[in-house]
Amino acid sequence: MPAKIKPAREKIIDAANALFYGEGIRAVSVDAIAEKAGITKKTLYYHFTSKDELVAAYLSSRDQPNLKLFAKWFEECEGSLADKTEAIFRQLAMSAKHPKWKGCGFLRTTAELANMPGHPAIKIGASHKKQFELWLSEKFDEAKYSRPDALARQIVLLMDGAFSTMLLHRDPAYAEEAGRAAKALVAMEIQA
């Protein structure tokens, strides 16, 4: 049975994922993405009217897979809600040990585009982070915690701090430490 041929749009997004995540948004040209995708620049511009649109598509393609991965790590952990929360950080630390790990693509993109607050990719990154926060808040609310929104926000701050510090120092132990702090916060929170 012959292998399924990927549509051009999918090839472009795959190439953008590899290059933007690996090298950064500003460092990668549209020409490089077209070359990696094995298509012409004209074909790329047929599917994406601008590099900005392609950057937004790149982040959009990462959104649900990342959220599902965090949920999987959470659900697969046995134990208390505090244990499950810590598990996300432990798994993140494991991922950060991979030589191709370059941090959070959403935070890195936001940093590169910080002077463009209206950029579609900034909005996608903010939405991604907010979705994770809301998902955590729902988990804490289901467990009848008295301040689920505040607790979720604290965990997100720990996570984004861990992402940034790991990227800076290239040391996954920061995620493990943030996970211990997250576990302590969840364990101390009062249930209604």
Q: Where are the domains of the chain?
A: 1-49, 62-188
Distance CA 181, CA 192 (A): 22
Model pTM score: 0.91
CA–CA separation, 51 vs 29, rounded Å?
8
**110: pLDDT strictly greater than 60:** yes
Mean pLDDT of 73-83: 97
Distance of CA 46 to the CA centre of its chain: 28
Q: Which CATH number fits domain 62-188: 1.10.357.10, 1.20.1090.10, 3.30.70.1400, 1.50.10.10?
A: 1.10.357.10
Arithmetic mean of pLDDT, 123-151: 97
10: amino acid identity, one letter: E
Residue with tokens 């364990």: 187
Residues 10-55: pLDDT tens digits?
Answer: 999 999 999 999 999 999 999 999 999 999 999 999 999 999 999 9
Q: 1-49 is classed in which CATH architecture?
A: Orthogonal Bundle (1.10)
Q: What does each C-alpha distance from 118 to 5, 107, 173 come to in angstroms? A: 36, 15, 34
Q: Read off the pLDDT of residues 36-48 as tens digits, 9 standing for 90 and up.
A: 999 999 999 999 9
